[in-house]
C-alpha cells in the first residue's frame, strides 16, 4: 500500500486567464492604438477615412459575433439598430440641438431601448425563424421611417448646417469623427471582452455548449440572451450614429441596408472565426483587403466574397483565427479560465 503524499509536497494550483502571448499583445495593441490616435498628425484624410470605417465595421462585427457566436442568436436584422442609431442622431442633433457627439451616445441608448420590445417579439421564434424574424422587424423599421415626412420620408434628409458648424472647421469635424470611430471600435471589443469574462460570460459559454444543461444548473438562458441582445443593440446603435454622422445624410434604404450592415458583417465574422474575439478583427481586415483589390470587378466582387465565405465554411468552419488557435495554440484575448499546476 503506497504512502499518502504529504500535504507540503502536493502540487499547488492556480487559476489564470492571461498567457505570455496575450500580455505581449496587450503592450503592442496599446502602442498601435496610440499610433492610430496620432494618425491626424502623420496621415492623410483618405487614411483616416479607411481606418475610421474599419473601426466601425470591427464594432459591428464584434457585436454580431457576441450575439451569434456566443448567445446563439443568428440575426440577419442588425441593420435595424444601425438605422435606429443613425435616425436617433439626426433627430437629437438636428431637431433638438443636442451636441453631435453627445447625440451619438444617446443614439446608442435609443437603439437599446428599441431592442427591448424587439426582443419580446423575435425571442418567441427559434432557429431560422428567429433569423427571418429579425430581418422582417428591420424591414418594418425601414418602411416606418420612410413614412416620416419630418425626416425626409423615403428620400431621406441631411444634417442641418448648424449641426455641422458646431464642430468648428472641416478639419476639426473630420478629426472628431475619426477619434470617435476609433474609440467606438476599441470600446466594443473591450465591452465584449469584459462581458465574456464576467458571470454573464460564463452563462453564455454554458448556453453555447448546451442550453438544456445550462438551464438544469440554474442558468437563466432567456435573461442572459436578452441582456446580450440589448447590449448589442446599444453598441450597434452607436456605430450606426457615427456612420451617418460621417455621411451627413441618411435615408431609409441606406440606414437599413441588409447588405452593408448585416451581410458584410456576417462575412467578416465567418471568415475570421465565429465565437472568438480576435476572429471578427481578422475577418474585417480580410474584407477590406478583398474590397481594395477586387472592387474593379464590379458584380463579380460580391460573387467572390460569397464564394470565399462558402469555401471557408466547408473547409474550415472555425474560420481563419480558429485555424491559428488550433495549430499555434494562440490566444490574444483569452476569456477562459485555465488551471495551472505549480
Query: What local confidence, expressed as pLDDT, does residue 250 receive?
Result: 96
Domain assignment of residue 303, yes or no: no
Q: What is the rounded distance in angstroms from the CA atom of residue 229 to the CA atom of residue 200? A: 13
Q: Region 225-246: what's the mean pLDDT?
A: 96
Domain assignment of residue 160, yes or no: yes
Q: Is the pLDDT of residue 24 over 70?
A: yes
Q: Confidence band (pLDDT; 50, 70, 90) for 3?
A: low
User: What is the grid cell recorded at 98?
Assistant: 443636442
**What share of the chain has pLDDT > 70, as a percent?**
92
Degrees, nearest 5: CA angle 105-108-112:
145
Q: Which residues of 180-205 are buried (b: 16+ CB within 10 A; e: fewer)?
A: bbbbbbbebbebbbebbbeebbbbbb
Element (H, E) at 15: strand 13-16
Q: What is the rounded distance in angstroms from the CA atom of residue 239 to the CA atom of residue 236? A: 5
Domain assignment of residue 156, yes or no: yes
Q: Is the pLDDT of residue 118 over 90?
A: yes
Query: What local confidence, expressed as pLDDT, does residue 72 receive?
Result: 87
Q: How many CA atoms lie within 13 A of 291 on its CB side?
A: 13
Query: What local confidence, expressed as pLDDT, does residue 333 receive?
Result: 78
Q: Confidence band (pLDDT; 50, 70, 90) for 5?
A: low
Domain assignment of residue 4, yes or no: no
Q: What is the DSSP string of 320-342?
A: HHHHHHHHH---SS--S-EEEE-
Average pLDDT over the chain, rounded to whole?
A: 88
Q: Which residues of 132-169 are buried (b: 16+ CB within 10 A; e: fewer)?
A: ebbbebbbebbeebbeeeebbeeebbebeeebbeebee
* Higher pLDDT among residues 87 and 313, named by residue: 87
Return the axis-axis angle of helices 45-65 and 278-294, rounded to nearest 10°.
Answer: 130
Q: What is the DSSP string of 160-213?
A: -HHHHHTT-SHHHHHHHHHHHHHHHHHHHHHHHHHHHTSHHHHHHHHHHH-HHH
Segment 281-301, tens digit of pLDDT:
999 999 999 888 887 777 677
Least confident of 39-48, 111-120, 129-138, 199-208: 199-208
Q: What is the rounded distance in angstroms from the CA atom of residue 160 to the CA atom of residue 94? A: 6
Q: Confidence band (pLDDT; 50, 70, 90) for 80?
A: very high
* Higher pLDDT among residues 150 and 212, named by residue: 150
Domain assignment of residue 305, yes or no: no
Q: Is the pLDDT of residue 125 over 80?
A: yes
* Higher pLDDT among residues 341 and 181, named by residue: 181
Q: Region 191-196: what's the mean pLDDT?
A: 90
Q: Confidence band (pLDDT; 50, 70, 90) for 130?
A: very high
Domain assignment of residue 313, yes or no: no
Domain assignment of residue 117, yes or no: yes
* Higher pLDDT among residues 294 and 144, named by residue: 144
Q: Is the pLDDT of residue 25 over 80?
A: yes
User: What is the grid cell recorded at 51?
Assistant: 481606418
User: What is the grid cell recorded at 55?
Assistant: 473601426
Q: What is the rounded distance in angstroms from the CA atom of residue 302 to the CA atom of residue 290? A: 10
Count of positions (residues) in the chain: 342
Query: What local confidence, expressed as pLDDT, does residue 7 receive?
Result: 54
- Pairs from 101-108 (Cβ < 8 Å, separation ≥ 24): 101/176, 101/180, 103/241, 104/180, 104/238, 104/241, 104/242, 104/245, 105/238, 107/237, 107/238, 107/240, 107/241, 108/234, 108/235, 108/237, 108/238, 108/241
Segment 146-189, tens digit of pLDDT:
999 999 998 999 999 999 999 988 899 999 999 999 999 999 99
Residues 6+ apart with CB under 8 A from 204: 70, 71, 195, 196, 224, 228
Contact of 222 with 64, CB cutoff 8 Å: no
Q: What is the largest CA-CA distance in the chain?
A: 88
* Higher pLDDT among residues 304 and 74, named by residue: 74
Q: What is the rounded distance in angstroms from the CA atom of residue 87 to the CA atom of residue 91? A: 6
Its domain, for residue 217, covers: 16-257
* Higher pLDDT among residues 207 and 114, named by residue: 114
- Domain total for the chain? 1
Query: What local confidence, expressed as pLDDT, does residue 26 receive?
Result: 87
Q: Confidence band (pLDDT; 50, 70, 90) for 22?
A: confident
Predicted TM-score (pTM) of this structure: 0.92
Domain assignment of residue 294, yes or no: no
Amino acid at each position: 500500500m503506497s504512502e499518502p503524499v504529504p500535504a507540503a509536497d502536493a502540487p499547488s494550483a492556480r487559476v489564470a486567464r492571461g498567457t505570455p502571448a496575450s500580455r505581449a499583445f496587450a503592450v503592442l495593441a496599446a502602442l498601435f492604438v496610440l499610433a492610430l490616435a496620432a494618425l491626424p498628425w502623420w496621415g492623410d484624410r483618405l487614411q483616416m477615412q479607411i481606418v475610421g470605417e474599419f473601426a466601425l465595421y470591427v464594432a459591428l462585427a464584434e457585436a454580431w459575433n457576441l450575439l451569434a457566436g456566443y448567445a446563439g442568436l443568428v440575426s440577419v436584422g442588425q441593420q435595424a439598430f444601425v438605422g435606429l442609431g443613425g435616425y436617433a442622431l439626426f433627430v437629437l442633433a438636428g431637431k433638438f440641438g443636442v451636441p453631435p457627439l453627445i447625440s451619438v451616445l444617446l443614439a446608442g441608448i435609443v437603439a437599446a431601448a428599441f431592442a427591448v420590445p424587439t426582443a419580446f417579439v423575435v425571442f418567441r421564434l427559434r432557429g431560422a425563424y428567429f433569423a427571418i424574424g429579425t430581418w422582417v422587424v428591420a424591414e418594418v423599421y425601414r418602411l416606418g421611417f420612410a413614412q416620416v415626412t419630418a425626416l425626409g420620408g423615403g428620400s431621406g434628409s441631411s444634417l442641418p448646417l448648424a449641426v455641422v458648424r458646431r464642430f468648428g472647421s472641416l478639419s476639426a469635424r473630420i478629426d472628431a469623427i475619426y477619434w470617435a470611430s476609433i474609440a467606438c471600435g476599441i470600446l466594443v471589443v473591450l465591452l465584449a471582452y469584459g462581458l465574456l469574462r464576467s458571470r454573464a460570460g460564463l452563462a453564455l459559454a454554458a448556453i453555447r455548449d448546451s442550453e438544456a444543461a445550462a438551464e438544469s444548473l440554474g442558468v437563466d438562458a432567456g435573461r442572459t440572451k436578452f441582456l446580450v441582445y440589448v447590449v448589442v443593440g446599444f453598441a450597434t446603435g452607436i456605430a450606426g450614429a457615427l456612420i451617418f454622422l460621417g455621411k451627413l445624410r441618411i435615408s431609409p434604404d441606406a440606414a437599413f441596408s441588409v447588405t452593408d450592415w448585416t451581410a458584410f458583417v456576417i462575412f467578416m465574422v465567418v471568415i475570421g472565426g465565429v465565437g472568438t474575439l480576435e476572429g471578427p478583427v481578422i475577418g474585417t481586415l480580410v474584407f477590406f483587403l478583398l474590397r481594395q483589390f477586387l472592387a474593379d470587378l464590379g458584380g463579380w466582387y460580391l460573387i467572390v466574397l460569397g464564394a470565399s465565405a462558402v469555401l471557408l465554411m466547408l473547409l474550415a468552419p472555425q474560420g481563419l483565427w480558429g485555424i491559428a488557435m488550433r495549430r499555434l495554440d494562440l490566444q490574444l484575448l483569452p476569456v477562459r479560465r485555465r488551471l495551472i499546476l505549480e
